[in-house]
Amino acid sequence: MKLLFAAAEMFPFAKSGGLADIAHALPKALANKIEVTAVMPLYRFVDRERYGIEPTGEHFTFQIGGATRTAEIFSAIHDGVLHLFVYNEALSDKEGIYGPPGGCYPDNDIRFALFCHAVAELSKRLGVHIVHLNDWHTALAAPLLKERGIAAKTVYTIHNLAYQGIFPAESLAGIGLSPHHFTMKDMEFYGAINWMKGGIRHSDLVTTVSPSYALEIQRAEYGCGLDGFICEHRHKLYGILNGIDEAFYDPSSDPALPFHFSKKRLLNKKRCKKAYLEEIDINKYEFPLFVFIGRFVEQKGLDWIIEAIDTIGEMPLFLSILGSGDARYHALLEEAAKRHERIVVRFGYDETLSHRMYAAADFLLMPSLFEPCGLNQMIAMRYGTIPVVHRVGGLRDTVHAWHAKEPLCGKGIFFEESDATAMVSAMKEALDLYAKKPRFNRVRSFDMVCDFSIRKCAEHYLSLYRRLV
Protein backbone atom coordinates (compact mmCIF):
# COMPACT_ATOMS: atom_id res chain seq x y z
CA MET A 1 0.00 0.00 0.00
CA LYS A 2 1.29 3.48 -0.91
CA LEU A 3 0.38 6.54 1.16
CA LEU A 4 0.91 10.24 0.45
CA PHE A 5 0.68 12.25 3.68
CA ALA A 6 0.22 16.01 3.13
CA ALA A 7 0.43 18.81 5.71
CA ALA A 8 1.34 22.49 5.78
CA GLU A 9 3.89 21.97 8.56
CA MET A 10 6.02 19.09 9.78
CA PHE A 11 8.53 18.88 12.59
CA PRO A 12 11.48 19.48 12.48
CA PHE A 13 11.31 21.45 9.23
CA ALA A 14 8.53 23.91 10.15
CA LYS A 15 6.30 24.09 13.21
CA SER A 16 3.65 26.40 14.62
CA GLY A 17 1.74 23.90 16.73
CA GLY A 18 0.71 20.29 17.33
CA LEU A 19 -0.06 19.64 13.64
CA ALA A 20 3.68 19.63 12.93
CA ASP A 21 4.33 17.07 15.67
CA ILE A 22 1.69 14.61 14.50
CA ALA A 23 2.67 15.15 10.85
CA HIS A 24 6.15 13.99 11.83
CA ALA A 25 5.27 11.17 14.19
CA LEU A 26 2.42 9.49 12.29
CA PRO A 27 4.21 8.98 8.93
CA LYS A 28 7.25 7.73 10.87
CA ALA A 29 5.12 5.13 12.67
CA LEU A 30 3.25 4.13 9.50
CA ALA A 31 6.47 3.68 7.52
CA ASN A 32 7.12 0.47 9.46
CA LYS A 33 3.99 -1.05 7.87
CA ILE A 34 3.42 0.57 4.45
CA GLU A 35 5.19 2.74 1.87
CA VAL A 36 4.87 6.36 3.03
CA THR A 37 5.75 9.64 1.33
CA ALA A 38 5.23 12.89 3.23
CA VAL A 39 4.84 16.24 1.47
CA MET A 40 4.87 19.84 2.69
CA PRO A 41 5.73 23.31 1.32
CA LEU A 42 9.41 24.24 1.18
CA TYR A 43 9.32 27.53 3.07
CA ARG A 44 12.35 29.72 2.65
CA PHE A 45 13.25 29.46 6.34
CA VAL A 46 13.57 25.65 6.16
CA ASP A 47 17.23 24.72 6.62
CA ARG A 48 17.92 22.80 3.39
CA GLU A 49 21.56 22.10 4.18
CA ARG A 50 20.90 20.79 7.69
CA TYR A 51 18.28 18.29 6.49
CA GLY A 52 19.87 17.37 3.17
CA ILE A 53 17.01 18.74 1.05
CA GLU A 54 17.91 18.48 -2.63
CA PRO A 55 16.06 19.20 -5.91
CA THR A 56 14.57 16.18 -7.65
CA GLY A 57 14.47 17.81 -11.09
CA GLU A 58 10.67 17.45 -11.23
CA HIS A 59 8.39 20.43 -11.63
CA PHE A 60 4.68 21.03 -12.27
CA THR A 61 2.96 23.94 -14.02
CA PHE A 62 -0.52 25.21 -13.12
CA GLN A 63 -2.85 28.10 -13.95
CA ILE A 64 -3.66 29.61 -10.56
CA GLY A 65 -4.63 33.14 -9.63
CA GLY A 66 -4.64 34.24 -13.27
CA ALA A 67 -0.99 33.32 -13.70
CA THR A 68 1.12 30.35 -14.71
CA ARG A 69 2.76 28.91 -11.60
CA THR A 70 5.58 26.42 -11.49
CA ALA A 71 6.10 24.14 -8.51
CA GLU A 72 9.55 22.62 -8.05
CA ILE A 73 9.88 19.39 -6.09
CA PHE A 74 12.68 18.75 -3.59
CA SER A 75 13.30 15.69 -1.41
CA ALA A 76 15.04 14.37 1.69
CA ILE A 77 14.96 11.27 3.87
CA HIS A 78 14.24 11.99 7.53
CA ASP A 79 13.60 9.40 10.26
CA GLY A 80 13.25 6.73 7.60
CA VAL A 81 10.51 8.59 5.69
CA LEU A 82 10.80 10.07 2.20
CA HIS A 83 9.80 13.73 2.42
CA LEU A 84 8.92 15.77 -0.65
CA PHE A 85 8.88 19.56 -0.59
CA VAL A 86 6.97 21.89 -2.89
CA TYR A 87 8.68 25.16 -3.76
CA ASN A 88 7.17 28.16 -5.47
CA GLU A 89 8.03 31.77 -4.78
CA ALA A 90 4.42 32.76 -3.92
CA LEU A 91 3.99 29.75 -1.62
CA SER A 92 7.39 29.67 0.00
CA ASP A 93 8.97 33.11 0.21
CA LYS A 94 7.29 34.34 3.37
CA GLU A 95 8.61 35.02 6.86
CA GLY A 96 6.10 32.66 8.45
CA ILE A 97 3.94 29.65 7.64
CA TYR A 98 0.50 31.27 7.64
CA GLY A 99 1.12 34.92 8.41
CA PRO A 100 2.77 37.43 10.73
CA PRO A 101 2.16 37.00 14.48
CA GLY A 102 -1.58 37.19 15.08
CA GLY A 103 -2.46 37.49 11.38
CA CYS A 104 -2.74 35.76 8.00
CA TYR A 105 -1.18 36.47 4.62
CA PRO A 106 -3.82 37.89 2.22
CA ASP A 107 -2.79 35.49 -0.56
CA ASN A 108 -3.06 32.29 1.50
CA ASP A 109 -5.75 31.01 -0.86
CA ILE A 110 -3.34 31.22 -3.81
CA ARG A 111 -0.41 29.88 -1.77
CA PHE A 112 -2.11 26.75 -0.48
CA ALA A 113 -4.08 26.20 -3.70
CA LEU A 114 -0.73 25.82 -5.39
CA PHE A 115 0.32 23.32 -2.75
CA CYS A 116 -2.93 21.36 -3.17
CA HIS A 117 -2.52 21.21 -6.95
CA ALA A 118 0.98 19.84 -6.38
CA VAL A 119 -0.37 17.24 -3.92
CA ALA A 120 -2.94 16.08 -6.48
CA GLU A 121 -0.30 15.83 -9.21
CA LEU A 122 2.11 13.97 -6.94
CA SER A 123 -0.57 11.44 -6.00
CA LYS A 124 -1.05 10.72 -9.69
CA ARG A 125 2.65 10.46 -10.53
CA LEU A 126 3.46 8.33 -7.50
CA GLY A 127 0.48 6.03 -8.03
CA VAL A 128 -0.50 6.13 -4.36
CA HIS A 129 -3.52 4.30 -3.00
CA ILE A 130 -4.30 6.72 -0.16
CA VAL A 131 -3.87 10.49 0.16
CA HIS A 132 -4.06 11.65 3.78
CA LEU A 133 -4.91 15.37 4.00
CA ASN A 134 -4.63 17.50 7.13
CA ASP A 135 -6.59 20.65 7.99
CA TRP A 136 -7.81 23.36 5.62
CA HIS A 137 -4.44 24.02 3.98
CA THR A 138 -4.64 20.67 2.14
CA ALA A 139 -8.44 20.33 1.86
CA LEU A 140 -8.60 21.59 -1.73
CA ALA A 141 -6.73 18.50 -2.88
CA ALA A 142 -9.83 16.35 -2.17
CA PRO A 143 -12.07 17.94 -4.85
CA LEU A 144 -9.09 18.32 -7.19
CA LEU A 145 -8.44 14.55 -7.08
CA LYS A 146 -12.05 13.90 -8.02
CA GLU A 147 -12.08 16.52 -10.80
CA ARG A 148 -9.01 14.93 -12.37
CA GLY A 149 -10.32 11.39 -12.03
CA ILE A 150 -7.39 10.28 -9.88
CA ALA A 151 -8.19 6.93 -8.29
CA ALA A 152 -6.51 7.46 -4.90
CA LYS A 153 -8.79 7.36 -1.86
CA THR A 154 -8.72 10.32 0.51
CA VAL A 155 -8.67 10.54 4.29
CA TYR A 156 -9.17 14.06 5.64
CA THR A 157 -8.20 14.89 9.24
CA ILE A 158 -9.64 17.87 11.11
CA HIS A 159 -7.02 18.98 13.63
CA ASN A 160 -8.85 22.17 14.59
CA LEU A 161 -12.32 23.06 13.29
CA ALA A 162 -11.84 26.70 14.31
CA TYR A 163 -9.56 27.25 11.31
CA GLN A 164 -11.54 26.42 8.16
CA GLY A 165 -9.90 28.31 5.30
CA ILE A 166 -12.70 30.76 4.50
CA PHE A 167 -12.12 33.09 1.52
CA PRO A 168 -14.27 35.45 -0.60
CA ALA A 169 -16.42 33.77 -3.24
CA GLU A 170 -14.47 35.38 -6.06
CA SER A 171 -11.34 33.50 -5.03
CA LEU A 172 -12.90 30.27 -6.34
CA ALA A 173 -12.03 31.10 -9.93
CA GLY A 174 -8.49 32.06 -9.00
CA ILE A 175 -7.58 28.79 -7.25
CA GLY A 176 -8.20 26.58 -10.28
CA LEU A 177 -11.37 24.87 -9.06
CA SER A 178 -14.61 24.37 -10.99
CA PRO A 179 -17.41 26.88 -10.14
CA HIS A 180 -19.89 24.03 -9.63
CA HIS A 181 -18.44 23.60 -6.11
CA PHE A 182 -20.07 26.86 -5.03
CA THR A 183 -23.21 25.34 -3.52
CA MET A 184 -24.46 24.97 0.05
CA LYS A 185 -23.96 21.19 -0.12
CA ASP A 186 -20.36 21.70 -1.19
CA MET A 187 -17.96 24.61 -0.48
CA GLU A 188 -20.29 27.62 -0.23
CA PHE A 189 -20.44 29.10 3.29
CA TYR A 190 -22.58 32.18 3.91
CA GLY A 191 -21.61 33.65 0.54
CA ALA A 192 -17.94 32.75 0.92
CA ILE A 193 -15.92 29.66 0.02
CA ASN A 194 -14.94 27.24 2.78
CA TRP A 195 -12.04 24.89 2.06
CA MET A 196 -12.71 22.63 5.03
CA LYS A 197 -16.21 21.96 3.72
CA GLY A 198 -14.60 20.79 0.49
CA GLY A 199 -12.29 18.46 2.39
CA ILE A 200 -15.17 16.95 4.34
CA ARG A 201 -17.50 16.71 1.33
CA HIS A 202 -15.07 15.13 -1.12
CA SER A 203 -12.99 12.82 1.10
CA ASP A 204 -13.80 9.15 1.49
CA LEU A 205 -13.26 9.23 5.26
CA VAL A 206 -13.01 12.10 7.74
CA THR A 207 -11.23 11.88 11.08
CA THR A 208 -10.71 14.08 14.08
CA VAL A 209 -7.84 13.80 16.54
CA SER A 210 -9.81 12.43 19.49
CA PRO A 211 -13.08 10.52 20.00
CA SER A 212 -14.62 13.23 22.20
CA TYR A 213 -13.88 15.97 19.67
CA ALA A 214 -15.61 13.93 16.95
CA LEU A 215 -18.77 14.08 19.08
CA GLU A 216 -18.35 17.71 20.16
CA ILE A 217 -18.09 19.14 16.64
CA GLN A 218 -21.52 17.76 15.82
CA ARG A 219 -22.98 20.21 18.37
CA ALA A 220 -23.45 23.95 17.87
CA GLU A 221 -21.29 24.76 20.92
CA TYR A 222 -18.15 23.42 19.25
CA GLY A 223 -19.20 23.11 15.60
CA CYS A 224 -17.97 26.57 14.49
CA GLY A 225 -20.89 26.85 12.09
CA LEU A 226 -20.27 23.45 10.50
CA ASP A 227 -22.06 21.21 13.01
CA GLY A 228 -25.04 20.60 10.72
CA PHE A 229 -22.79 19.90 7.73
CA ILE A 230 -20.66 17.51 9.78
CA CYS A 231 -23.75 15.69 10.99
CA GLU A 232 -24.70 15.11 7.34
CA HIS A 233 -21.34 13.38 6.86
CA ARG A 234 -21.04 11.62 10.20
CA HIS A 235 -21.40 8.21 8.51
CA LYS A 236 -17.74 8.61 7.46
CA LEU A 237 -16.50 10.41 10.60
CA TYR A 238 -14.09 8.75 13.05
CA GLY A 239 -12.38 10.06 16.17
CA ILE A 240 -8.82 8.73 16.50
CA LEU A 241 -6.72 9.86 19.45
CA ASN A 242 -3.36 11.33 18.52
CA GLY A 243 -0.20 10.03 20.13
CA ILE A 244 3.37 11.12 20.77
CA ASP A 245 6.72 9.88 19.54
CA GLU A 246 7.96 8.22 22.73
CA ALA A 247 11.51 7.99 21.43
CA PHE A 248 11.60 11.78 20.99
CA TYR A 249 9.83 12.53 24.27
CA ASP A 250 11.83 10.29 26.60
CA PRO A 251 13.11 11.76 29.89
CA SER A 252 15.57 8.91 30.28
CA SER A 253 17.52 9.96 27.16
CA ASP A 254 16.27 13.42 26.06
CA PRO A 255 19.37 15.44 25.05
CA ALA A 256 17.60 18.69 25.99
CA LEU A 257 17.61 17.81 29.71
CA PRO A 258 20.39 18.60 32.17
CA PHE A 259 19.61 15.34 34.04
CA HIS A 260 17.90 12.17 32.82
CA PHE A 261 15.28 10.42 34.89
CA SER A 262 12.66 7.67 34.84
CA LYS A 263 9.94 6.27 37.09
CA LYS A 264 12.62 4.47 39.10
CA ARG A 265 15.01 7.44 39.12
CA LEU A 266 12.84 10.42 40.06
CA LEU A 267 15.51 12.21 42.08
CA ASN A 268 16.91 13.59 38.84
CA LYS A 269 13.54 15.17 38.04
CA LYS A 270 13.95 17.23 41.21
CA ARG A 271 17.39 18.22 39.96
CA CYS A 272 15.82 19.30 36.64
CA LYS A 273 13.37 21.47 38.59
CA LYS A 274 16.13 23.08 40.64
CA ALA A 275 18.19 23.77 37.51
CA TYR A 276 15.23 25.35 35.72
CA LEU A 277 14.22 27.54 38.66
CA GLU A 278 17.79 28.81 38.86
CA GLU A 279 17.66 29.45 35.10
CA ILE A 280 14.68 31.80 35.63
CA ASP A 281 16.33 33.43 38.68
CA ILE A 282 14.25 31.77 41.37
CA ASN A 283 16.27 30.45 44.28
CA LYS A 284 13.45 28.99 46.36
CA TYR A 285 12.36 25.42 45.76
CA GLU A 286 9.64 24.70 48.31
CA PHE A 287 6.65 25.52 46.08
CA PRO A 288 5.32 23.40 43.20
CA LEU A 289 6.14 24.55 39.68
CA PHE A 290 3.26 24.98 37.21
CA VAL A 291 4.02 25.51 33.54
CA PHE A 292 1.93 26.69 30.60
CA ILE A 293 3.32 25.93 27.14
CA GLY A 294 1.33 26.95 24.08
CA ARG A 295 0.12 29.53 21.61
CA PHE A 296 -1.17 32.83 22.98
CA VAL A 297 -4.66 32.58 21.50
CA GLU A 298 -8.13 32.64 23.05
CA GLN A 299 -8.58 28.88 22.57
CA LYS A 300 -5.83 28.10 25.08
CA GLY A 301 -7.61 29.74 28.02
CA LEU A 302 -5.33 32.78 28.27
CA ASP A 303 -8.25 35.02 29.26
CA TRP A 304 -8.93 32.84 32.31
CA ILE A 305 -5.26 32.91 33.29
CA ILE A 306 -5.11 36.69 32.96
CA GLU A 307 -8.38 37.16 34.86
CA ALA A 308 -7.01 35.07 37.73
CA ILE A 309 -3.38 36.15 37.49
CA ASP A 310 -3.32 38.22 40.69
CA THR A 311 -4.93 35.38 42.63
CA ILE A 312 -2.42 32.93 41.14
CA GLY A 313 0.42 35.30 41.96
CA GLU A 314 -0.51 35.13 45.68
CA MET A 315 -0.77 31.32 45.76
CA PRO A 316 2.15 29.20 47.07
CA LEU A 317 3.39 28.16 43.62
CA PHE A 318 5.65 29.14 40.75
CA LEU A 319 4.14 29.67 37.29
CA SER A 320 6.34 29.66 34.19
CA ILE A 321 4.69 30.52 30.86
CA LEU A 322 6.16 29.92 27.39
CA GLY A 323 4.49 30.86 24.13
CA SER A 324 3.78 33.44 21.45
CA GLY A 325 0.83 34.78 19.52
CA ASP A 326 -1.66 37.59 20.09
CA ALA A 327 0.12 40.82 21.06
CA ARG A 328 -2.64 41.60 23.59
CA TYR A 329 -1.75 38.50 25.60
CA HIS A 330 1.96 39.31 25.34
CA ALA A 331 1.39 42.73 26.91
CA LEU A 332 -0.95 41.54 29.68
CA LEU A 333 1.25 38.61 30.69
CA GLU A 334 4.39 40.74 30.64
CA GLU A 335 2.73 43.26 32.95
CA ALA A 336 1.54 40.48 35.28
CA ALA A 337 5.07 39.07 35.52
CA LYS A 338 6.33 42.47 36.66
CA ARG A 339 3.81 42.46 39.54
CA HIS A 340 4.46 38.90 40.74
CA GLU A 341 7.96 37.58 41.31
CA ARG A 342 6.85 33.94 41.18
CA ILE A 343 5.34 34.30 37.68
CA VAL A 344 7.79 34.18 34.77
CA VAL A 345 6.82 34.67 31.12
CA ARG A 346 9.07 33.71 28.22
CA PHE A 347 8.06 34.64 24.68
CA GLY A 348 8.64 32.67 21.49
CA TYR A 349 8.82 29.08 20.30
CA ASP A 350 11.72 27.07 21.70
CA GLU A 351 11.50 23.26 21.40
CA THR A 352 14.50 22.58 23.64
CA LEU A 353 13.27 24.96 26.34
CA SER A 354 9.82 23.34 26.31
CA HIS A 355 11.42 19.95 27.02
CA ARG A 356 13.29 21.40 30.00
CA MET A 357 10.04 22.89 31.29
CA TYR A 358 8.15 19.58 31.01
CA ALA A 359 10.98 17.87 32.89
CA ALA A 360 11.15 20.52 35.62
CA ALA A 361 7.46 21.02 36.29
CA ASP A 362 5.24 19.46 38.90
CA PHE A 363 2.03 20.44 37.08
CA LEU A 364 1.03 21.43 33.54
CA LEU A 365 -1.70 24.08 33.37
CA MET A 366 -3.85 23.55 30.25
CA PRO A 367 -7.18 25.43 30.59
CA SER A 368 -8.21 25.24 26.92
CA LEU A 369 -11.69 26.49 26.02
CA PHE A 370 -11.74 23.63 23.52
CA GLU A 371 -9.03 21.14 22.63
CA PRO A 372 -9.32 18.81 19.61
CA CYS A 373 -6.69 16.52 21.11
CA GLY A 374 -3.75 18.21 22.75
CA LEU A 375 -0.30 16.66 22.92
CA ASN A 376 1.03 18.77 25.79
CA GLN A 377 -0.79 16.75 28.44
CA MET A 378 0.57 13.47 27.01
CA ILE A 379 4.11 14.83 26.89
CA ALA A 380 3.79 16.21 30.42
CA MET A 381 2.69 12.86 31.84
CA ARG A 382 5.57 11.14 30.06
CA TYR A 383 7.87 13.52 31.99
CA GLY A 384 6.16 12.94 35.34
CA THR A 385 4.29 16.25 35.26
CA ILE A 386 0.64 16.05 36.33
CA PRO A 387 -1.84 17.87 34.04
CA VAL A 388 -4.43 20.36 35.31
CA VAL A 389 -6.92 20.73 32.46
CA HIS A 390 -10.34 21.88 31.33
CA ARG A 391 -12.25 18.69 30.57
CA VAL A 392 -12.99 19.11 26.87
CA GLY A 393 -12.11 17.26 23.66
CA GLY A 394 -8.95 15.18 23.81
CA LEU A 395 -8.32 16.32 27.38
CA ARG A 396 -11.46 14.44 28.38
CA ASP A 397 -10.08 11.31 26.68
CA THR A 398 -6.62 11.44 28.23
CA VAL A 399 -6.86 13.00 31.71
CA HIS A 400 -8.88 11.17 34.38
CA ALA A 401 -9.34 11.97 38.07
CA TRP A 402 -6.14 11.35 40.01
CA HIS A 403 -8.08 9.51 42.72
CA ALA A 404 -10.09 7.29 40.33
CA LYS A 405 -9.93 3.63 41.31
CA GLU A 406 -10.24 2.44 37.73
CA PRO A 407 -6.85 1.84 36.08
CA LEU A 408 -7.55 4.47 33.41
CA CYS A 409 -4.31 5.56 31.82
CA GLY A 410 -3.59 9.23 32.33
CA LYS A 411 -4.44 10.76 35.70
CA GLY A 412 -4.54 14.36 36.75
CA ILE A 413 -6.85 17.16 37.80
CA PHE A 414 -9.63 18.63 35.71
CA PHE A 415 -12.43 21.19 35.95
CA GLU A 416 -15.76 21.08 34.12
CA GLU A 417 -17.04 24.65 34.36
CA SER A 418 -15.87 27.17 31.77
CA ASP A 419 -14.52 30.00 33.91
CA ALA A 420 -11.46 31.26 35.77
CA THR A 421 -12.90 30.41 39.18
CA ALA A 422 -13.10 26.71 38.29
CA MET A 423 -9.53 26.82 36.97
CA VAL A 424 -8.24 28.33 40.22
CA SER A 425 -10.13 25.69 42.23
CA ALA A 426 -8.41 22.98 40.17
CA MET A 427 -5.04 24.60 40.88
CA LYS A 428 -5.83 24.58 44.60
CA GLU A 429 -6.66 20.89 44.35
CA ALA A 430 -3.23 20.42 42.76
CA LEU A 431 -1.61 22.21 45.70
CA ASP A 432 -3.42 19.88 48.10
CA LEU A 433 -2.21 16.85 46.17
CA TYR A 434 1.35 18.20 46.14
CA ALA A 435 1.24 18.47 49.93
CA LYS A 436 0.44 14.75 50.16
CA LYS A 437 3.76 13.59 48.76
CA PRO A 438 3.17 9.80 48.72
CA ARG A 439 -0.07 10.23 46.73
CA PHE A 440 1.51 12.88 44.51
CA ASN A 441 4.44 10.62 43.68
CA ARG A 442 2.15 7.64 43.00
CA VAL A 443 0.15 9.66 40.45
CA ARG A 444 3.33 10.99 38.87
CA SER A 445 4.86 7.50 38.57
CA PHE A 446 1.60 6.02 37.24
CA ASP A 447 1.40 8.61 34.44
CA MET A 448 5.00 8.11 33.36
CA VAL A 449 4.32 4.56 32.15
CA CYS A 450 0.98 5.25 30.46
CA ASP A 451 0.92 4.37 26.76
CA PHE A 452 0.21 7.48 24.72
CA SER A 453 2.44 6.34 21.88
CA ILE A 454 1.81 7.17 18.24
CA ARG A 455 1.84 3.43 17.51
CA LYS A 456 -1.76 3.04 18.71
CA CYS A 457 -2.87 5.95 16.56
CA ALA A 458 -1.04 4.48 13.54
CA GLU A 459 -2.78 1.12 13.96
CA HIS A 460 -6.18 2.82 13.87
CA TYR A 461 -5.28 4.66 10.68
CA LEU A 462 -3.94 1.52 9.07
CA SER A 463 -7.27 -0.21 9.65
CA LEU A 464 -9.08 2.69 7.95
CA TYR A 465 -6.67 2.73 5.00
CA ARG A 466 -7.11 -1.01 4.50
CA ARG A 467 -10.88 -0.65 4.61
CA LEU A 468 -10.71 1.91 1.80
CA VAL A 469 -8.26 -0.03 -0.36
Q: What confidence tens digit (pLDDT) does each residue in 207-240 have?
A: 999 999 999 999 999 999 999 999 999 999 999 9
pLDDT digits (tens, 9 = 90+) for 187-202: 999 999 999 999 999 9
pLDDT number for residue 114: 96
All domains in the chain, ordered by first residue: 2-245+454-468 (3.40.50.2000), 267-448 (3.40.50.2000)
High-pLDDT (> 90) share of the chain, %: 90
pLDDT number for residue 24: 97
Angle of CA points 40, 97, 381, to nearest 5°: 80
pLDDT score of 66 more than 80: no
Contact 288, 276 (CB under 8 A): no
Angle of CA points 426, 428, 434, to nearest 5°: 105
Residue type, 244: I
Contact 414, 401 (CB under 8 A): yes
| Highest mean pLDDT out of 39-53, 87-101, 282-296 | 39-53
pLDDT class for 161, splitting at 50, 70, 90? very high
Mean pLDDT of 318-344: 93
pLDDT class for 404, splitting at 50, 70, 90? confident
pLDDT score of 449 more than 80: yes
pLDDT score of 354 more than 80: yes
**Summary mean pLDDT of the chain:** 95
Contact 9, 19 (CB under 8 A): yes
pLDDT number for residue 227: 97
pLDDT class for 183, splitting at 50, 70, 90? very high
Can you tell me the distance from the alpha carbon of 321 to that of 410, in angstroms, rounded to the nearest whole number?
A: 23
pLDDT number for residue 271: 96
The pairing of strands 35-41 and 2-6 is parallel
| Radius of gyration, alpha carbons of the chain | 22
pLDDT digits (tens, 9 = 90+) for 4-24: 999 999 999 999 889 999 999
pLDDT number for residue 80: 95
pLDDT digits (tens, 9 = 90+) for 86-126: 999 999 999 999 998 778 999 999 999 999 999 999 999 99
The pairing of strands 192-194 and 166-168 is antiparallel
pLDDT number for residue 288: 97
pLDDT digits (tens, 9 = 90+) for 248-259: 999 999 999 999
Q: Which pTM was predicted? A: 0.93
pLDDT score of 62 more than 90: no
pLDDT number for residue 229: 97
* Of residues 59, 1, 19, 130, the one with CA closest to residue 373: 19
